[in-house]
């Protein structure tokens, strides 16, 4: 239970990151962002190493490994590549640029979808009751977190967010949003200097 609570605390600290961005509080944004990432990562790793595990087939483990690589790649892409790492996580204040293309044309919070698949993959790889419960609780807390972002924080951070909300679904993709995602999706490129 301790590590589950630690993971929940990670989402609370992520909210502090958003408030520090909005209020332009020097240094707190970066510290809170790093702490949120560390808390959730550490608690996930510790629960994955829980000694009480269930037997699972090799096929399920292979599916879990493939799903983990894909979902973790999409999570990193959505949160750290599509959103400018420098502007979003390092610079003071709000990034100033609303991203509404690529995975952000699919849904307004694609990280929630990818994180859910990361948790499913981990449950397949490290099957335990504790991890299953942690994953379910963390996903619910993540949905609550992005609901607060969507309703209260992002409209204050981005003037065009209200229009974006009308054009792009919250968490469940539609046929239209899927097509918009495919049309605007860009693979990262290496720039030569």
Q: Residue range 15-41: average pLDDT?
A: 89
Residue 139 lies in a domain: yes
Residue-number span of the structural domain to which 174 is assigned: 2-184
More confident of the two residues 30 and 15: 15
Residue 193 lies in a domain: no
Residue 74 lies in a domain: yes
List the CATH number of the domain containing 140.
1.20.120.1630
Residue 121 lies in a domain: yes
Q: Is the pLDDT of residue 72 over 60?
A: yes
Q: Show the tokens assigned to 56.
A: 């699972």
Our CA dihedral for 178, 103, 173, 165, rounded to 10 degrees, sits at: -110
Number of domains in the chain: 1
Residues 139-182: tens digit of each pLDDT: 999 999 999 999 999 998 888 999 999 999 999 999 999 999 99
How many helices and strands in the chain, by DSSP H and E? 10, 0
Q: Which of 42-46, 64-68, 85-89, 177-181 has the lowest mean pLDDT?
A: 85-89
pLDDT reported for residue 86: 67
Residue 191 lies in a domain: no
Residue 189 lies in a domain: no
Residue 70 lies in a domain: yes
Residue 58 vs residues 61, 65, 68, 124: alpha-carbon distances, Å = 5, 10, 15, 10
For residue 107, give the 3-state DSSP assignment: coil
Residue 28 lies in a domain: yes
pLDDT reported for residue 193: 46
pLDDT reported for residue 21: 85
Q: Which of 2-11, 17-26, 115-124 has the lowest mean pLDDT?
A: 17-26
Contacts 24+ apart (CB under 8 A), 115-119: 115/71, 115/75, 115/139, 115/142, 116/142, 117/67, 117/70, 117/71, 117/74, 118/68, 118/71, 118/72, 118/75
CA distance 138 to 119: 9
Residues 107-133: tens digit of each pLDDT: 999 999 999 999 999 999 999 899 999
């Amino acid at each position: 239970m301790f590590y589950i609570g630690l993971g929940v605390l990670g989402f609370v600290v992520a909210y502090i990151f958003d408030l520090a961005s909005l209020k332009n509080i020097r240094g707190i944004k970066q510290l809170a962002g790093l702490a949120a990432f560390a808390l959730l990562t550490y608690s996930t790793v510790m629960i994955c190493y829980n000694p009480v595990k269930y037997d699972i087939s090799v096929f399920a483990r292979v599916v879990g490994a493939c799903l983990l690589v894909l979902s973790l790649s999409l999570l990193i892409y959505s949160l750290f590549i599509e959103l400018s790492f420098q502007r979003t996580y390092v610079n003071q204040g709000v990034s100033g640029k609303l991203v509404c293309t690529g995975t952000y044309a699919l849904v307004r919070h694609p990280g929630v979808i990818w994180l859910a698949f990361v948790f499913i993959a981990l449950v397949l790889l490290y099957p335990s009751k504790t991890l299953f419960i942690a994953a379910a609780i963390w996903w619910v807390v993540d949905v609550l977190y992005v609901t607060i972002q969507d309703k209260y924080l992002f409209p204050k951070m981005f003037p065009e967010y209200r229009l974006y909300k009308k054009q792009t679904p919250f968490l469940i993709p539609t046929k239209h949003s899927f097509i918009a995602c495919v049309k605007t999706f860009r693979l990262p490129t290496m720039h030569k200097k």
